[in-house]
Structure 1
């Protein structure tokens, strides 16, 4: 009789371990999917930036430092080695893009250029998509981190090396400020 109780308890613990592990795998896959979705929008932004910079160059020749910073920030973000580095580099890129739009305020001809306006509109749409995908990614990461950090599933997470994932958030205090854009 005791033998069956022990076997039953062992089977229940084993089933719980399997269920917990599978839940963490599903959650981890959702995190990776959410990041990949956001990465698609980030790639769209990377592709738009050179066109935007070239358009601005024609009007703002002596503002090359601002444009070089945008390209450098784009390249750093594109070549990030891990999620944490990517988060920091994306924040720097967002700040650099705000500088281009601020620069455009100084050049009325540039603000009236249809190519610039089209690129700006596309970039603003992509930025909106990025913001939405960041929200989704952060929600998925929150759920995953809750599973990984909660007792008793944190025991399983430790055994199978599931680690807390970073949120995608604004890293720079200057980026938290509103940017004035007028048309």
Structure 2
């Protein structure tokens, strides 16, 4: 593989690894929000109306920002009917082909995310609840997560293609 592709793979993997490791800690923030909500309601008798939405926002950020890291570790869900019976080279060839469909899907998803985020910023879109938070921050984080996943998918495509050609990228 050309040096530019190897550098792309190296840096995308490095960035997604670091961001993914940080995103893992969002789960603890989510736990804190839910514990605070529960304690506030149980001990003080005061319900916290923002906790449900905040937990949904945190969970969305957790799985979308961490999605690229999950893809990098190959820890995503895969339906395996015949895949495990293939040789590593044939698996890489199949992966290099099928990932093109996933890349197309994620490009469409990213385009929609950018459009939705732009709309939310332009019009000051708020959620229709009593808390009524602005939606652009979570939409921007979700769009960033989709973008990171797109970069990782392209990196994975290059690695699969190199492996299928018998010249793996380390």
Tell me the TM-score normalized by structure 1: 0.34
Where is the helix percentage greater, Structure 1 or Structure 2?
1
Which structure: larger Rg? 1
